[in-house]
């Protein structure tokens, strides 16, 4: 549900956060970009920052502050907002990037990127998959068993047939990437003025570093999106919902208020649809070994990034904008009957709302910048 920004939740003693949020409230009241753009006639046609409203941009930044999973992350976003000063065109550019890491699955075949998830099980694997509960650990969200794995186990050894017969449903699955946009690529979509104000926006990896303090190269070696900590095996419907920021994962807590390791509650923009897709309320990931190599569960940092992005997109209205832009893109490709200006940049359209993934998970680089500014 799209929500207007609430009143400032930060006290005057929280100077940086308070000032940044006030700037968001001010931006939310602006009816149009026109009076605030230096040379509107010279703005590039693919400047996506100008194809959303000041209201959505303001809510994107405001909810990025509110939803930040750590105080350090909140300080990162606040520092960048305050650094824009009264330059609303720069704020528009900044709001363009809060969820840039998500989007469609990379074009590389998931099977190529994660052969372990599809190989025939070893003898050890078969023993580990002795119960329906163990079988369900293999597939994300729905607990369904991958049909290829089912066939491989069935053909491998008939002695496990009894346990496999207790599996009532299988599904075609593929790999869902948590961060799915190429990290070395630029983001585009900014006006010339915004590009000059935000010179560090030259790649998604640099956005992670600058806005979130995430040393993405330390998490994903060689910026490899096909790292197991950046992926989960998902049934198709759950995968699509995850890509569209319709579902997300937040750490689960036990009865004593302690975080349960590698266990997450599933949030959703549409809980009824989630239930009808048989997506579970809670999921647990397991570390497992393949040929003596330990395969780790998904990174909690990357999952937190996705979750915050999804909530910001949902509350700010950016997710609805993405859906509208996707419809416009389809119409330009002849996939629907709606009309749209043929000069509209279809490639960039999907970029705007994938830009909500900037979400702020802290780092010391942000703290150093704030200290230098004081």
Strands (E), the chain: 145-146, 170-171, 173-177, 231-235, 247-253, 259-268, 282-284, 288-290, 293-295
Q: How confident is the model at residue 109 (pLDDT cuts 50, 70, 90)?
A: very low
Looking at 68-77, 201-210, 220-229, 259-268, which range is the least confident one? 201-210
Looking at 33-42, 243-252, 320-329, which range is the least confident one? 320-329
Question: In whole angstroms, what is the distance from residue 280 CA to residue 136 CA?
Answer: 11
Closest CA to 21 of 2, 7, 32, 33: 7
The pLDDT value recorded for residue 324 is 63
The pLDDT value recorded for residue 169 is 78
Average pLDDT over residues 209-230: 76
Averaging pLDDT over each range in 183-192, 196-205, 244-253, which range is the top one?
A: 244-253
The pLDDT value recorded for residue 191 is 62
Averaging pLDDT over each range in 133-142, 147-156, 158-167, 243-252, which range is the top one?
A: 243-252
The pLDDT value recorded for residue 280 is 92
Q: How confident is the model at residue 317 (pLDDT cuts 50, 70, 90)?
A: confident
Average pLDDT over residues 163-190: 72
The pLDDT value recorded for residue 296 is 82
The pLDDT value recorded for residue 107 is 44
Mean pLDDT of the chain: 71
- Residue 139 predicted with pLDDT over 90: no
Q: How confident is the model at residue 346 (pLDDT cuts 50, 70, 90)?
A: very low
- Residue 142 predicted with pLDDT over 70: yes
The pLDDT value recorded for residue 181 is 74
The pLDDT value recorded for residue 82 is 94
Give whole-number Cα distances, 121 to 69, 116, 150, in Å: 38, 9, 10
pLDDT (tens digit per residue) in 251-285 = 999 999 999 999 999 999 999 999 999 999 999 88
Percentage of the residues of the chain whose pLDDT score is greater than 90: 23
- Residue 59 predicted with pLDDT over 60: yes
Average pLDDT over residues 139-152: 76
The pLDDT value recorded for residue 300 is 92
The pLDDT value recorded for residue 164 is 59
- Residue 51 predicted with pLDDT over 50: yes
Instruction: Please check whether residue 208 is in contact with residue 105, taking contact to mean a CB–CB distance below 8 angstroms.
Output: no
Instruction: Please check whether residue 184 is in contact with residue 203, taking contact to mean a CB–CB distance below 8 angstroms.
Output: yes
Question: In whole angstroms, what is the distance from residue 113 CA to residue 110 CA?
Answer: 5
Top-confidence residue, 196 or 352: 196
The pLDDT value recorded for residue 211 is 63
Instruction: Please check whether residue 73 is in contact with residue 98, taking contact to mean a CB–CB distance below 8 angstroms.
Output: no
Residue whose token pair is 């997450």 = 264
The pLDDT value recorded for residue 192 is 67
Give the helix/strand (H/E) hosting 192: helix 192-197
Structure tokens at 148: 């290829």
């Amino acid at each position: 549900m799209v929500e207007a920004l609430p009143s400032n939740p930060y006290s005057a003693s929280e100077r940086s956060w308070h000032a940044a949020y006030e700037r968001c409230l001010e931006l939310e009241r602006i009816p149009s970009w026109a009076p605030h753009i230096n040379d509107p006639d010279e703005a590039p046609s693919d400047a996506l920052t100008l194809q959303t409203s000041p209201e959505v941009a303001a809510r994107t930044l405001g909810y990025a502050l509110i939803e930040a999973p750590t105080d350090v992350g909140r300080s990162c976003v606040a520092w960048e907002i305050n650094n824009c000063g009264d330059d609303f065109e720069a704020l528009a550019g900044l709001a363009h990037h809060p969820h840039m890491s998500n989007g469609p699955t990379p074009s590389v075949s998931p099977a190529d990127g994660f052969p372990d998830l599809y190989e025939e099980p070893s003898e050890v694997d078969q023993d580990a998959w002795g119960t329906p509960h163990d079988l369900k650990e293999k597939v994300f969200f729905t607990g369904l068993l991958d049909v290829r794995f089912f066939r491989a186990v069935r053909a491998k050894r008939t002695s496990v047939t009894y346990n496999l017969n207790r599996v009532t449903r299988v599904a075609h699955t593929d790999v869902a990437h948590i961060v799915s946009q190429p990290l070395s690529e630029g983001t585009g979509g900014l006006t010339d003025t915004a590009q000059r104000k935000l010179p560090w926006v030259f790649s998604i990896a640099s956005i992670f570093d600058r806005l979130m303090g995430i040393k993405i190269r330390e998490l994903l070696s060689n910026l490899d999106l096909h790292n197991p900590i950046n992926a989960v095996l998902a049934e198709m419907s759950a995968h699509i919902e995850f890509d569209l920021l319709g579902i997300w994962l937040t750490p689960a807590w036990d009865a004593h208020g302690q975080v349960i390791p590698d266990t997450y509650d599933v949030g959703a923009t549409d809980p009824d649809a989630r239930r009808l897709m048989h997506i579970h309320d809670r999921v647990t990931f397991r570390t497992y070994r393949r040929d003596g190599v330990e395969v780790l569960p998904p990174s909690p940092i990357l999952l937190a990034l996705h979750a915050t992005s999804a909530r910001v997109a949902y509350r700010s209205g950016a997710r609805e904008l993405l859906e509208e832009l996707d419809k416009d893109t389809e119409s330009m490709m002849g996939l629907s009957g709606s009309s749209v200006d043929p000069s509209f940049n279809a490639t960039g359209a999907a970029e705007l709302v994938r830009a909500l993934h900037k979400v702020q998970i802290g780092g010391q680089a942000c703290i150093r910048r704030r200290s230098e500014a004081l």
